[in-house]
Amino acid sequence: MANPNHQDEQPADALINTTDGLAYWESIDADVNGMLGGYPHISKVDIQGSRNFLAKLGVGAKAKGKRTVERALEGGAGIGRVTTGLLLDGIARQVDVIEPIQKFTDELKGKPGVGKVWNVGLEQWDPATEIQEGEKYDLIWIQWCVGHLTDGQLVRFLERCKAALDVEKGGFVVVKENNSTSGKDDFDELDSSVTREDSTFRRIFKEAKLKLVQVELQKGFQSSGLLPVRMYALKPE
């Protein structure tokens, strides 16, 4: 059994165990309830909040005067709730996905608009070997998954995302994640993940040489007793 004081002795992200995290997700049902930890009712509010956020960044065919991008990537896609419910619904013409749990992506493969499916962890994905020069992304969406990466892994993953952006077309990254309210980053033994403070995310973005272009707090979750969720839009410095 873990020492209850152990977390205080080292950074929360040092406790992350990738094998334990993967084992947790392998045990979860491949449905919206499983993806959202027993809160399937928040999916509609979540998707709409994300759509509104992207519209403010000039993206989304459902918003007047906004554009649809050619290529997007979703990191940690799960069953494709965001890929199909948001990104392929007026945001992007094609979406590639990264998701380590194969059973989650089985139904995504072959769907219209879904491109490449990489069944690897975010820490393993490398655009230098996986994509061609002409395949860079206008948008990379990363939601509710980076808690499984250490701070160092997250910095390196974001650096690889930065290299995969089509900068000439104004490509950008969005990270949408829970924020800790305890005054520190918190480790969760259940799925071997970390919930980071807003300040930790901002430090990590700076280390990855990404600048914040927009930040917004997701609305509509407070009544469900959930942690604050922030959306961070990022572009290369």
Known binding-site residues for S-adenosyl-L-methionine equal 76, 81, 143
CB 23, CB 195: distance < 8 Å: no
Q: What angle do CA 162, 166, 168 make, to 5 degrees?
A: 115
Per this entry, what is the length of the chain?
237
The annotation places the binding site at: 76, 81, 143
User: What are the φ and ψ backbone dihedral angles of 228, each rounded to 5 degrees?
Assistant: -60, 140
Query: Which residues, in sequence order, are CB contacts of 177 under 8 Å at separation 6+?
Result: 143, 144, 146, 147, 196, 201, 229, 230, 232
